[in-house]
Amino acid sequence: MGPQRPVSSDAVAPSDATKAGVGAIEAAAGDQASSIKLSATELLALARDKSRSTSERLEQLRVIDEHYPNSPEAKQATALRPELETQLNAELNPVGQQWSYDSQTDDMSGKDIHTARVTSANSFEFDFPYSGQQQAKLLIRRHPRWGNDVILSIDKGQILCHSFSSCPIRVRFDDETAKTLTGNEPSDNSSESVFIPGYENFTRKLGSAKRVRIEFNVYQQGSVMAEFDVSGFDRKRLSK
């Protein structure tokens, strides 16, 4: 048996990171123990304290349920929990951030152009020569000279919408029945965009909808469905 190598002191002494981790665990345990020592009334008061974080307030409700399940405060905690859970979900998943708003000045009129844009939640891939994964875009535009428009576009491909052929666009808000509208081609005859009629009705529905699905026809691809998360759409930002 050969000589044994000495064990480094670093291998047995806890690192600073380990010490910090242990300290954090001990601190958390101490906070939990402190909460348990509080009465149900005190815990409920902390849960109702709006100056505290939502996650901390929910933790007080959890302690009430665990240690005072038959108390009157437990019933009040049960009533308060849905509100705080909804609030926490909203904090963790901010509504409306998927929308991109912009404004710029129209050089010819001197007035502002306002837009709101969102990208489809799903993606699709067409055959050659338009291969490659892509997503659809939904643009809401208020233009001082061209009027108000709802425009659906793709990065590459040919949306079948021409003056000499029909241009059916199927739109479904949330769980409503889908409606078929007649789209309009762009004035520059580009094939990557289509104008969806009914701006006022469309944007009004966007204000309360969470999801909109739009189906359109693409050359040599058939029907394509783009699904958009439209929750939190703020129509007022298009008029500022």
Residues contacting residue 124 through CB under 8 Å, at least 6 positions apart: 133, 134, 135, 224, 226
pLDDT at 46: 93
pLDDT at 19: 47
Per-residue pLDDT of the chain (240 residues; tens, 9 = 90+): 444 333 333 434 444 444 444 454 444 445 555 556 899 999 999 999 999 999 999 999 999 999 999 999 999 999 999 888 878 866 776 667 899 999 999 999 999 999 999 999 999 889 889 888 899 999 999 999 999 999 999 999 999 987 666 799 999 999 999 999 999 998 888 899 999 999 999 999 999 999 999 999 999 999 999 999 999 999 988 876
Q: Using an 8 Å Cβ cutoff, are 77 and 59 in contact?
A: no
pLDDT at 36: 60
CA–CA distance, 127 with 123 (Å, rounded to integer) = 14
Q: Can you give the residue ranges of every domain in the chain?
A: 14-92, 100-238
- Backbone dihedral region of 106: left (phi > 0), alpha (psi from -120 to 50 degrees) or beta? beta
Q: Using an 8 Å Cβ cutoff, are 209 and 203 in contact?
A: no
pLDDT at 163: 64
pLDDT at 232: 92
Q: Using an 8 Å Cβ cutoff, are 181 and 129 in contact?
A: no
pTM: 0.63
CA–CA distance, 175 with 50 (Å, rounded to integer) = 35
pLDDT at 173: 98
Token output for 205: 């529905």
Count of CB atoms situated within 10 Å of the CB of 159: 25
Token output for 237: 């930002």
Domain 100-238: assigned CATH number: 2.60.40.1880
Token output for 230: 């439209």
